[in-house]
Amino acid sequence: MVLDQNTSSKENRRCRLAKASAFTLQDGSLGLFFASEDLLPCTERAIFKNKSLPVPVACPLPTTLLEKLEEPIMPIIAKGNYPITKLAGGYLIAF
């Protein structure tokens, strides 16, 4: 899955794109893990320097993602601020 925050077209082509591993957390929410080795330095600075990821409007999840998860989850990411947790080897965002 690719997370893409809207930026200028120049930045959008190279920065602020990140590959994530998606999985269901113990509480049934969606977890996205972004490995540091897969992040461009500009992406890490632009997104992960913050303590949270703002989601200004609710976002439906793609059916292809929902089908790949082992456990069912809510099919939408609700509007809100989601904490970014720094872990060994990368970052975790729980939705």
Give tens-digit pLDDT for 18-60: 889 999 999 989 999 999 999 988 888 888 999 999 999 999 9
In the chain, domain spans: 2-94
Between these two residues, 15 and 63, which has the higher pLDDT value?
63
Q: Is 41 exposed, middle or buried (0-12, 13-18, 19+ CB in 10 A)?
A: exposed
pTM, two decimal places: 0.78
The 8-class DSSP code of residue 85 comes to: E
Give tens-digit pLDDT for 71-94: 888 899 999 999 999 999 999 999
Distance (Å, whole) CA 86 – CA 80 = 19
Distance (Å, whole) CA 7 – CA 40 = 15
Confidence class for position 8, pLDDT limits 50, 70, 90: very low
